[in-house]
Amino acid sequence: MFVSAHGLAHRFPGTDTLFEHLDFTIEPGHTVAICGPSGCGKSPLLSILAGWERPAEGTVERSGVDRIGWVFQNPYGVPERSALDHVVFPLLAKGERRRDAEPEAMAAMELFDLGYAAGRRFSDLSGGEAQRLMLARAVCSKPDLLLVDEPTAQLDTRTAHSVSHVLGNLAGQGMIVVVATHDPDTRDACARGIDLADYAPAGNQTSATPEREGTR
């Protein structure tokens, strides 16, 4: 199983190219951070990897990827349903019985320090709690490819640090994890970083950190 990008470039109609000549391959066992300044194309790149958006140039190859999970920057849910309901639902949709699904859902919530909020309505959660709930739901659905957009944007420093390191370890569960982030702590928790500023066209580049690889 892998996801590969070959010669990717992207631009919106009538605008400058965001990035170009982007090549990489990601396999299970590594969490990859997509970094760069605001407006460099991090979120569009996630959409391209998911197959939701076409690149201006290049191709994406997904081999063995049948299930894609996405955690958006802005969490959403059903106001009157409980936090636990939101995490259980993907398991019920796969045919599991609720009595079997609930312990699995609770384990995912505990992973993100949310066990205490299981009975709360979604509308009563803070922004940070709702964001962590979306992460728990995505992990519980066991995707082959997990795409996460700015997961720590609404979190306090302590919680952001905890979530960053959980994300850094998720690839050990056999999934491919790609995280778009501007948070240095999240980037450092990942095994590999790709800075899109390095792939901006000449004349559009801002200060950037070279691509970094390694293991935690």
Alpha-carbon distance of 76 to 78, in angstroms, equals 7
Q: Which pair of structure tokens corresponds to residue 205? A: 């580049």
> Measuring CA to CA, how many Å separate 133 from each of 53, 138, 159?
26, 9, 13
Dihedrals φ, ψ of 110, to 5°?
Answer: -65, -30
The β-bridge relationship of strands 19-26 and 176-180 is: unpaired
Closest Cα to residue 37, out of 18, 52, 56, 12?
Answer: 18
Angle, vertex CA 206, rays to CA 205 and CA 211, nearest 5: 85
- Give me the pLDDT at residue 177, please: 94
Alpha-carbon distance of 90 to 124, in angstroms, equals 21
Q: Are 71 and 138 in contact (CB under 8 A)?
A: yes
Dihedrals φ, ψ of 147, to 5°?
Answer: -110, 125
- Give me the pLDDT at residue 209, please: 39
Per-residue tens of pLDDT for the chain, all 216 residues:
999 999 999 998 888 899 999 999 999 988 999 999 988 999 999 999 999 999 999 999 999 999 999 998 888 899 999 999 999 998 999 899 999 999 999 999 999 999 999 999 999 999 889 989 999 999 888 899 999 999 888 788 888 888 888 887 787 788 999 999 988 888 888 989 999 999 999 866 544 433 333 333
- Give me the pLDDT at residue 214, please: 36
DSSP reduced 3-state for 89: helix
Question: Burial of 181 by CB count in 10 Å (0-12 exposed, 13-18 middle, 19+ buried)?
Answer: buried
Burial 60-74 (b: 16+ CB within 10 A, else e): bebeebeebbbbbee
